Structure 1
Amino acid sequence: MMRKKPKAVPEWLNSPLWSTLPPAPATADPFGAEFSPPRPLTPKPLSFVPPPPSYEQAVGSYAGGGEGRGEEDATGAALRAHLLADFKTALSKKVISMGELRRLACLGVPDGGADVRPLLWKLLLGYLPTERALWPYELEKKRSQYSAYRDEFLLNPSEKIRRIEDSKLPRKKELNVVRSGLLPRSQVINEEHPLSFGKSSLWNKYFQESEILEQIDRDVKRTHPDMPFFSAKSNQESLRRILIVFSRLNPSVLYVQGMNEVLAPLFYVLKNDPDASNSASAEADTFFCFAELVSGFKNNYCKHLDNSQVGIRSTLSKLSQLLKKHDEELWRHMEVITKVYPQYYAFRWITLLLTMEFSFNVCIHIWDAILADPEGPPDTLLRICCAMLILVRKRLLVGDFTANIQLLQHYPLTNVDHLLHIANRLRGTVAS
């Protein structure tokens, strides 16, 4: 009986960057030459509009000539300025071309693009329409809607009951009554009593939700405590309100521990908008952008869908299939020989959108690509996760269960442009 011939490793995987064992390090770098730039790759014909090269790649190609580091830095700065100018031109049009915007953003916004990214993300997440003339109307409508959500979901039962009672009073009596802030004991009906167990009791519902509120409070206080921005009381309160309103509007999802980490980059980017009016309304804008982003990954957060065809287990299975399709040798070593399955390392990668695997600034750069890719955030995220495995394949192929788990749960520093380049080569291959 003929033995099945193993699938050949794709030619582009034969680069020394990921296909050979690392030589002994010549410096203190613990990863040796693994993260040195790869040899130029000859891309296969692509069915999509190819993205522009990153400024790091362009600067790297120039470094062979010139007159030293100073000129290289000057060239890099000039190229960054050029790319930022392209972004600003694309964003200033009366009708935004999303195709052009996605092409520019697919490898990330260059350094110095803090004034570009807030508007870019709002467009990529569908919060703003492509017609600039509609922006004032849409912003006013959405921000007013969020204000109504806050009034509805953040008031305690006493305040809600008081408002209900006030709405029942005749206009004349309402103007003359002296409000004490508390209802007279005789006016508190059974269903509105704090000790009521009635299903319609506001207090009973309030206490049932208190556990979620406590979890949100704990997680918000643990959000990037090393960053002064997230230690500010006002910003913590904004994060808390967004998560509470989201949990109340999405009873099938509620709040899942770790959502604070997904919310943090969005709020940070929108709150640091140089436009003062946008910065002042960052809480409302972030809420809708967060809701849109999470909607694409909603099934991963629903516990009752874990074992379904759309839950987190199915998503992890897609990652396994993607790795097998592009690097069967690595897949076999991981899942057949060492039994390192995606649920041991990729659960956090996927549910927290890589926020815990990279530094905060690098994560934001990666999110540019995740949000901009026309294949959509879920599929793009899976391709990036697969690229993360490919980038460290040499170490994985010589590692056992313990070594590989440790490596993937503490992903090493890497060149983000190389990562996005490899993810780009996997385009159009995520199983449906």
Structure 2
Amino acid sequence: MTSSKQNTRETVFLETIGSERIYYKQLQSLCSTGIVETCGIRSLCWKILLNYLPNNRSSWIRVLEKQRQEYNNFLEEVIVQPGLNRTNGPIANAEDHPLNTNPSSEWNTYFKENSILLQIDKDVRRLCPDISFFQNATAYPCKMLHLESSKVESLRKRIERTGLNSQSLTRKKMGISNLINTRKQAIEEYETLMTQGQEAHWEVVERMLFVYAKLNPGTGYVQGMNEIIGPLYYTFASDPNPKWREYAEADTFFCFTLLMGDIRDNFITSLDRSTTGIDASMRRTMNLLQRSDPEVRSKLDKIKIKPEYFLFRWITLLLSQEFPLPDVIHIWDVLFADENRFDLLIAVCVGMIMLIRKELLEKDFSGCVKLLQNYPEHIEIIRVIQEAKNVYKTIHPGS
């Protein structure tokens, strides 16, 4: 793109997002090819596209104050030791104690939750290893941990106290497909920062995921959710405006919750075979591939490559494991901007397959599986998006 065109797009973006009333359709159209990086407004655009912020700017302060206070309330409600409440200090209940095995015991629930916390801790300590961001200290550690009136518990201390062993919650389909791409795993786990009062960004993510798991017991925490919240938090916590960065934790939590409201069925095993589950999404993708490139579909069927081997991870994690983080963020710009974003996600998956069709037609079973589970790095993300748009038009001709 020429410099003049880039400057024109930047100007239009800034005018659109700076208006007192933001026209949603216009913002969607602008973001549909990616948000101009130099504008510094990506996190704001995402908040609007995910329906966290209304399109009327005058109501933002009221909405944000309410949501951020609500998040603080969540912290005080769900990250607190048994035997304490927010107003009265220790609760006099001699019948409930750490050795109580009664299912209704707060202490019994507390210890069961430790296994969930330890799994979250394990996952976030290896989040987005291709950048150093999550290992670094946030300039805005949780204030609730240091208020004298607050009973919010430090998850760091809670993890240090427990000696429980956690089991991996990695979901596998057909014994081959793993949620986590080995190419994007950290060699070593991130360390806890030792300076008093400091928190690494991965610790902030850990807290958000633990709060989400406690507030959503039907879903809980499933490995892979860390890969969804990671790019959201990175985008919000990297906002050039310090006022937005300061509240990145609360804003990310609510945007993550809104996004999970759309994709949560992919994380619930009991819904795999439902019309909204991951199996249905994979089936739709393969049907679209049949329409778009029947030769490749026939080849995959012939050598018995099941969609579970690669599509399970692609769809469930919104492609966050298949590309470097900047490319993932670019794809998410496009996905969030579309009202039918999950139709577009399926089109992206089909487009990715079509871009490597030559290699797929030449390779055997093991070669194809390796290629699909480790998508070639040399393919530019703009080509993926362009191919996806072409495929998408076969689903939504007027787009």
Residue 323 (structure 1) aligned to one of 251, 270, 289: 289
Instruction: Specify the alignment match of 1:198 in structure 2.
Output: 102
Q: What is the correspondence of 1:208-357 to structure 2 with a 5 Å cutoff?
A: 208-232=112-136, 233-335=199-301, 337-357=302-322
Query: In structure 2, the residue corresponding to 1:357 is in which secondary structure?
Result: coil
Residue 380 (structure 1) aligned to one of 331, 339, 344: 344
Instruction: Specify the alignment match of 1:143 in structure 2.
Output: 68
Which residue identity does 1:393 align to in structure 2? Answer: R
Is 1:396 aligned to 2:301, yes or no? no
Instruction: Specify the alignment match of 1:97 in structure 2.
Output: 23
CA distance in 2, matches of 1:228, 1:417: 25
Query: In structure 2, the residue corresponding to 1:195 is in which secondary structure?
Result: coil
Partners of 1:95 and 1:131 within 8 A in 2 = yes
Structure 1's consecutive aligned runs of 4 or more residues displaced over 6 angstroms after TM superposition are none
Query: In structure 2, the residue corresponding to 1:307 is in which secondary structure?
Result: coil
1:428 Cα deviation from its structure 2 partner: 5.6
Q: What is the correspondence of 1:10-159 to structure 2 with a 5 Å cutoff?
A: 55=1, 76-113=2-39, 115-159=40-84
1:418 Cα deviation from its structure 2 partner: 1.7
CA distance in 1, matches of 2:343, 2:102: 45
CA distance in 1, matches of 2:362, 2:203: 47
Residue 325 (structure 2) aligned to one of 360, 368, 377: 360
1:116 Cα deviation from its structure 2 partner: 1.4
Partners of 1:318 and 1:430 within 8 A in 2 = no
Please list the CA deviations of residues 126-169 of structure 1 after superposition, one character each: whole Å capped at 9, or x if unmatched: 00001111111000011011110011111121433xx4754xxx
Partners of 1:80 and 1:111 within 8 A in 2 = no
1:272 Cα deviation from its structure 2 partner: 1.2
- Residues 204 and 429 (structure 1 numbering): CA distance in 2 closer, same or farther, change over 3 Å? farther
Which residue identity does 2:347 align to in structure 1? Answer: R
CA distance in 1, matches of 2:103, 2:393: 49
1:81 Cα deviation from its structure 2 partner: 2.1
1:382 Cα deviation from its structure 2 partner: 0.9
Query: In structure 2, the residue corresponding to 1:200 is in which secondary structure?
Result: coil
1:210 Cα deviation from its structure 2 partner: 1.0
Which residue identity does 2:84 align to in structure 1? Answer: E
Partners of 1:225 and 1:231 within 8 A in 2 = no
Query: In structure 2, the residue corresponding to 1:411 is in which secondary structure?
Result: coil
1:199 Cα deviation from its structure 2 partner: 2.2
CA distance in 2, matches of 1:148, 1:188: 24
Give identity over the alignment, percent.
37
CA distance in 1, matches of 2:239, 2:348: 27
1:235 Cα deviation from its structure 2 partner: 1.2
Structure 1: gaps of 5 or more residues: 1-54, 56-75, 167-181
1:396 Cα deviation from its structure 2 partner: 1.0
Partners of 1:384 and 1:423 within 8 A in 2 = yes
Please list the CA deviations of residues 4-46 of structure 1 after superposition, one character each: whole Å capped at 9, or x if unmatched: xxxxxxxxxxxxxxxxxxxxxxxxxxxxxxxxxxxxxxxxxxx
Partners of 2:116 and 2:221 within 8 A in 1 = yes
Instruction: Specify the alignment match of 1:52 in structure 2.
Output: none
Query: In structure 2, the residue corresponding to 1:209 is in which secondary structure?
Result: helix
TM-score by length of 1: 0.74
CA distance in 2, matches of 1:236, 1:119: 22
Query: In structure 1, the residue corresponding to 2:200 is in which secondary structure?
Result: helix
CA distance in 1, matches of 2:29, 2:69: 33
Which residue identity does 2:336 align to in structure 1? Answer: L
Partners of 1:193 and 1:203 within 8 A in 2 = yes
* CA RMSD in angstroms, aligned pairs only: 1.7
Partners of 2:130 and 2:324 within 8 A in 1 = no
- Residues 165 and 93 (structure 1 numbering): CA distance in 2 closer, same or farther, change over 3 Å? closer
Please list the CA deviations of residues 293-346 of structure 1 after superposition, one character each: whole Å capped at 9, or x if unmatched: 1111111001111122221111111111111121111111111x1111211111
TM-score by length of 2: 0.80
For this pair of structures, how many residues does the alignment match? 333
Partners of 1:246 and 1:254 within 8 A in 2 = yes
Structure 2: gaps of 5 or more residues: 137-198
Partners of 1:223 and 1:230 within 8 A in 2 = yes
Partners of 1:107 and 1:368 within 8 A in 2 = yes
Partners of 1:219 and 1:257 within 8 A in 2 = yes
CA distance in 2, matches of 1:198, 1:340: 48
Partners of 2:213 and 2:220 within 8 A in 1 = yes
1:430 Cα deviation from its structure 2 partner: 5.3
